[in-house]
Structure 1
């Protein structure tokens, strides 16, 4: 059986999935890894642990596929990854990776995760120097924010001696998780070589794709090249950075691992991968409910500059000669992470599944409004000083009301973003919202979402559309699937999906939304600098 493989390197886990020629799932394996939190607001990952989880997932998924269907032939590999998570490694020195009997290039620091807020002072300083957080929006589509990779690289240079030395000596390589994985998959350093020889090895292929590059704050979204002025501002040179490629082309072949010789032919950031997996065409929107929530609207071949707090970013570019598709994006920091907080921190639920049961046990939130701004608010407010608040508590309030209020808050935040998208795109409304991601399994949340936005919500049978998008890109990259088949043959996708239709009274919804917006205002100016 010929299969396309997809590595999905996410915020909390790594997965590897195999798809047959009809894009049916053959086998998969998933491994969670450590969340490192050295200080409040700081989140890191160990790049070597991530690499080990990739190798384990490859082995286990291939083993599962063979036991299920017999011999399989992987014809191409796609990669999707947590975006903006940033790391630095040494191009000349390696570190033994015993699980694969090879050397991989040595990370100079833990990866700084997309939600990490340690760069707040750098961002504040940059905004003051520029006079506005939107100074580079026309170039990058982005505001100055702790979210983006360039500011994380700046922090590493300012605070980590090992990074400064490697940079001064020309040994420093910068990348996001996709670049790190491709670099090691296509070269790493063969374990048969001794450590002294590593300085003479060129290592792997250092590339990224347009969707990940667009999230660094360094790429010009019109030319799809690194911007010289921004490189100069951050003191970077192009030889440190990966070459920018399309989302569907052969970047190189795997060397070592169970996929030795297989072409890596697709790469997208996780939210763009979900958009392709959902087969979103121009003026179609999707929302992925994962750790956070990410709403993207495909705006076609023209980038739309947002004046309502959204990001202008890439959707996908399905080949070196294909036109780039752009998107408006609204990023919401807390979705599934809020449910995890109820379970792990407050301990008012025992499992994520219980949140649906508990929320369904009450008809309303009992007047409770929840704003889960645990580390600030992203789109459309972009308030780093916001903090989580729960308002409207009374002696009547139970854990069921608080749980329902959290799920409702996820829906309200999505409504905010969709309203901003309509304003930016000059549309009066949408006919459908496509949804995916782990938290979209929650039927109560999906019904609350349909009620909040007053349009149908469509959930596909196969929720892992992020992985599917990476597989589609790789399949297009080698001609296994055509672009037309991927984007337009969605009959089965629609037929096997479930739709949630609005049931709530529109006037009551608007009234509750106005109250929730008032609660959002109460969350501002609550940052405690003593915790920094």
Structure 2
């Protein structure tokens, strides 16, 4: 059977390869952790060579599980979106460490552009704000501060791309492309532009010649080198991770909304073919592009979600495992007044305060591990509530919310989100919808299904539901404490 789909899911803390059947069943997976480099406060880096080698190792394991390359119809790639890799097109080797989406080193550059009055035009044209989160300012920093990157730019051999561009380049031996969903996160693509924009490239100081060709999210994007897997495998889908999860959740109709709780938390509402605009500091982004036609989304991005729990576990030693948070949260009636503002990488939407730092408020001698763990989970609902208000103010009020991502497996957290939002929350049994969305796109690109709706109907599994059950007075007390702590951040 040649209809298996191989998905490469390139996350922030790990890389995975996942093998899917045409009905969406996960057949097998392989995963390796990625090394996080923190050279200074606010700086986060990856080793692009490590990303490539570990992704390739996982992919080879899945090809073997499939019975060989001839049994795989196509590869779908989904990735952390704004992370930037600089490499030499001739050697195919990285010229520096990759700057991760969480990296904040370009905050001053963003301030300079904002103070010069550029943000309104940038937001209108790209849907994005002037924030270090996005790729364009990272690209400029690499050119200005990494001698090898500057030399390659001067020699005309520089390639600057997000992770899907890097992986496709390595897999194919030189194809240099970026899908529209990832390209829309760079600050260098207008929402209605076919390719990267010369004027925006000039504003940010990024040579257009160093950027990839912008392509659809499904189709035939070349094939892998024969020597990698024993035979060529076509690459038939590419998509940014949050757009992929939106597709994987079946949010194919305008108004449908999903929230992914992974390293960060990202909420996207399908806006159809209408270019989104926000008056409440939400983002407009490309959801997907087919045959040159774009479907858009309105997005709210929270920088710290699962990484807060990881910090409690790895840096403070308060947890043995991330799953322990649910047991601890259920062991007490409330957080004892403890509120956590998880601004370790600044505050994202709708606040956009890159210099904000984390706060733990309401500590007392009665505070223990359980109170802090519960407050960490409550922070997910608090941040989601702030975004719900912003979406509503932009005319995109939620009537329900579909959740996914690793953290959403926590039943207590899922119920708390439903309670605080006072909305029904839906969660699929298979919460890894990021990989599923990439599989759907790859299946369409490989010709297994005719369109995304057919892929969604065939591949999505059963859905669980959480109904709100919180007293209004309790909800309001929680929100008052959250806003007070937020002011301190």
The verdict on a shared fold, with TM-score over 0.5 as the criterion, is: yes
Equivalent-residue separation in structure 2 for 1:62 and 1:173 (angstroms):
29
Provide the residue aligned with 2:158 in structure 1.
172
- 2:265 is aligned with 1:297: no
1:343-401 alpha-carbon deviations (Å, 9 max, x no partner):
11221111101111111101111111111111210100001121111112222222211
* 1:417 and 2:383 correspond: no
Quote how far apart the aligned CAs of 1:482 are. 2.0
* Rounded Cα–Cα distance in structure 1 between residues aligned with 2:154 and 2:379: 47
Secondary structure (helix, strand or coil) at the match of 1:134 reads helix
- Asked if structure 1 preserves the Cα contact closer than 8 Å seen for 2:264 and 2:304, the reply is yes
- Partner SS state of residue 220, structure 2: strand
Q: Distance in 2 between matches of 1:234 and 1:380?
A: 24
State the alpha-carbon separation in 1 of the partners of residues 391 and 8 from structure 2. 31
SS in structure 1 at match of 2:259: strand
Q: Distance in 2 between matches of 1:175 and 1:308?
A: 29
Give SS of 2:32's match. Answer: strand
**Who wins on radius of gyration, i.e. which is larger?**
1
| Aligned: 1:514 with 2:486 | no
1:27-106 aligned at under 5 Å gives the runs 27-66=28-67, 73-93=71-91, 105-106=92-93
1:279 to 245, 250, 255: 250
* CA shift in 2, pair 1:153/1:259, >3 Å: farther
Q: What's the CA shift for 1:59?
A: 1.8
Contact conserved, 2:24 with 2:460, CA < 8 A, in 1? Answer: no
What's 1:11 paired with?
12
Which blocks of at least 5 consecutive residues in structure 2 are unaligned?
A: none
Contact kept in structure 1, 2:70 and 2:231, CA below 8 Å? no
Segment of structure 1 superposing worse, 290-299 or 218-227: 218-227
Contact 1:208 1:242 survives alignment (8 Å): yes
1:118 aligns with 2:105: yes
CA distance in 1 between counterparts of 2:298 and 2:96 reads 32
Residue 325 (str. 1) matches residue 325 (str. 2) = no
CA contact (8 A) 1:74 1:259 kept: no
Contact residue 249 and residue 265 of structure 1 kept, 8 A: yes
Other-structure match for 2:171: 185
Task: Please give the alpha-carbon distance, in whole angstroms, between the structure 2 residues aligned to 1:385 and 1:46.
Answer: 26
Counterpart check, 1:444 vs 2:393: no
In structure 2, the CA distance between the partners of 1:35 and 1:87, relative to structure 1 (3 Å rule), is same
Q: Deviations over 1:429-462 (max 9, x none)?
A: 4232111111111111111111111111111111
The question of whether the paired residues in 1 share the 8 Å contact of 2:258 and 2:268 is answered with yes
**Contact 2:168/2:175 (<8 A) preserved:** yes
When normalised by structure 2's length, the TM-score is: 0.96
Q: Which residue of 1 aligns with 2:149?
A: 163
Query: d(CA) in 2 for partners of 1:72 and 1:506?
Result: 58
Please give the per-residue CA displacement for 1:390-423, whole angstroms capped at 9, x wherever unaligned: 1122222222111111100111101111221121
Is contact 1:82-1:270 (8 Å) kept? yes
Whether 1:460 and 2:428 are equivalent positions in the alignment is: yes
Q: Provide closer, same or farther for how the CA distance between residues 259 and 10 of structure 1 changes in structure 2, counting only shifts above 3 A.
A: farther
Equivalent position SS for 1:253? coil
Q: Work out whether residues 86 and 177 of structure 1, in 8 Å CA contact, stay in contact via their aligned partners in 2.
A: yes
Structure 2 distance, partners of 1:422, 1:269, is: 25
Say whether residues 1:265 and 2:231 are aligned partners.
no
Contact 2:248/2:456 (CA < 8 Å) preserved in 1? no
The match for 2:457 among 489, 508, 514 is 489
Q: Mark the CA change 1:259 to 1:12 in structure 2 (over 3 Å): closer, same or farther.
A: farther
Are residue 505 (structure 1) and residue 471 (structure 2) matched? yes
Measure the CA separation in 1 of the matches of 2:381 and 2:250: 23
2:23 equivalent in structure 1: 22
SS in structure 2 at match of 1:366: coil
Deviates more, 1:33-42 or 1:481-490: 481-490
Q: How far apart in 2 are the matches of 1:230 and 1:284?
A: 31
Measure the CA separation in 2 of the matches of 1:519 and 1:144: 25
CA RMSD, 1 decimal: 1.7
- Summarize deviations over 1:18-76 as a string: whole Å, max 9, x none: 1112121111111112111111111111111111111110122233344xxx9970011
Q: Is the 8 A contact 2:83 2:163 kept in 1?
A: yes
Note closer, same or farther for the CA distance 1:287–1:184 as it changes in structure 2 (3 Å cut). Answer: same
Question: For structure 1, which runs of at least 5 residues remain unmatched after alignment?
Answer: 94-104, 188-203, 524-532
- Tell me how far 1:500 sits from its aligned partner: 1.4
Task: State how many pairs are aligned.
Answer: 486
Once the two structures are TM-superposed, the CA of residue 487 in structure 1 deviates from its matched residue by 6.0
2:197 corresponds in structure 1 to: 227
SS of 1:220's equivalent? coil
Which residue in the other structure is 2:96 paired with? 109
